[in-house]
A and B are shown apart, each in its own frame.
Chain A
Amino acid sequence: QAYGKVEKINAELLTLTYGAMVNQLLQDYEDVDEVNKQLDKMGFNIGHRLIDEFLAKSGVRGRCEFQDTAEVISKVAFKMFLGVSAQVANWNSDKTEYSLILEDNPLADFVELPEKYNRLYFSNILAGVIRGALEMVQYSIECKFVRDVLRGDDKTEIRVIFKEKMEDVIPDDDD
Chain B
Amino acid sequence: LLAESCIQLLNIEMVEAIKRSVVEARSAQTHHDKGSVEDEVYKRLENIGFQVGQRLIERYTRDRPLFNDTMECVKFLCKDYWVAVFRKSIKNLKYNNKRGVFVLEDDRFRWLLNYSDASSSTDHVDEMLAVPCGLIRGALAGLGVTTTVTGTVETIPACRFTVVLKDHQNTTR
Cβ-defined contact, B51 with A12, below 8 A: no
Q: Pick the residue among A10, A42, A49, A50 that contacts B1 (CB under 8 A).
A: A10
**A17 surroundings in chain B (CB, below 8 A):** 7, 10-11, 14, 48-49, 52, 131
Binding site for A on B (CB under 8 A): 1-7, 9-14, 16-18, 20-22, 24-25, 44, 47-49, 51-52, 55-56, 59, 84-85, 87, 110, 114, 118, 131
B7's partner among A14, A20, A45, A80 (CB-CB below 8 A) is A14
Contact A49 B118 (CB under 8 A): yes
Closest Cβ–Cβ distance, residue B29 to chain A (whole Å): 13
Interface range on chain A: under 10, 10 to 19, 20 to 34, or 35 or more? 20 to 34
A: residues with CB less than 8 A from B are 6-14, 16-18, 20-21, 24-25, 28-29, 38, 41-42, 45-46, 49-50, 53, 80-83, 106
Pick the contact of A46 from B9, B21, B59, B85 — CB < 8 Å? B9
Q: Is the CB of A9 within 8 A of B10?
A: no
Specify which chain B residues have a CB less than 8 angstroms from the CB of A25 in the assembled complex.
17-18, 21
Q: Are B2 and A106 in contact (CB under 8 A)?
A: yes
B81, chain A: closest CB distance, angstroms: 11
User: Which listed residue (B6, B24, B48, B114) contacts A24, Cβ 8 A?
Assistant: B48
